Amino acid sequence: MNVRKSDGWVTFDPGLVRNIVAQVSTSDDRVSAHQVLAALAKRLKWWDVEQLAAPGEESADRRRHPVKVDSLGHAGRLVEAEGVQAVDASFTVTCPGREVYGGVTTWFGHTGASLACGVNPHTKEPWVQEAYRLTCGPLRP
């Protein structure tokens, strides 16, 4: 959104760039999706498996509300970005008498960033860099 120095508070209506659909697949249907997500949560050292999106849950279903921010007297193109943390993993586990393998895609939480085109956000977060590139063009050092 292009703003003038005098605009003060501005409202952004978030647009969808990517949708992540949570899913779990295994080579053995005796291993439930919940077991896979619980093992993933434990491996990633999260306390609660409930923080991870369940199979079929879409990141696009997250409630996206207009975001109101103060332009702080800046002029130019401002960007408000929101995202979820995505996990895409494959696994193999040895169970008694068999090996089970599969894959999991899930997401959790949400985060945001306010960006101004022409001002390098100086972050290593790939999603912030991608949001900047999509709306402002290439990052400059």
Tell me how far CA of residue 129 lies from CA of 52, 115, 121, 139, in angstroms: 24, 10, 8, 8
CA dihedral for 120, 121, 123, 126, sign (positive or negative): negative
Mean pLDDT in residue range 42-64: 83
Mean pLDDT over the full length of the chain: 86
Q: Domain coordinates of the chain in residue numbers?
A: 2-8+19-136
pLDDT greater than 90 at residue 4: no
The span from the CA of 32 to the CA of 51, in Å, is: 17
Residue 84 phi/psi, 5° resolution?
Answer: -115, 160
88: part of which helix (H) or strand (E)?
strand 76-95
**pLDDT tens sequence across 29-50:** 888 999 999 999 998 887 688 8
Tens digit of pLDDT for each residue in 87-130?
999 999 888 888 999 999 999 988 888 888 888 888 888 888 88
Q: Which residues contact 140 (CB under 8 A, 6 or more apart)?
A: 120
Is residue 70's pLDDT more than 90? Answer: no
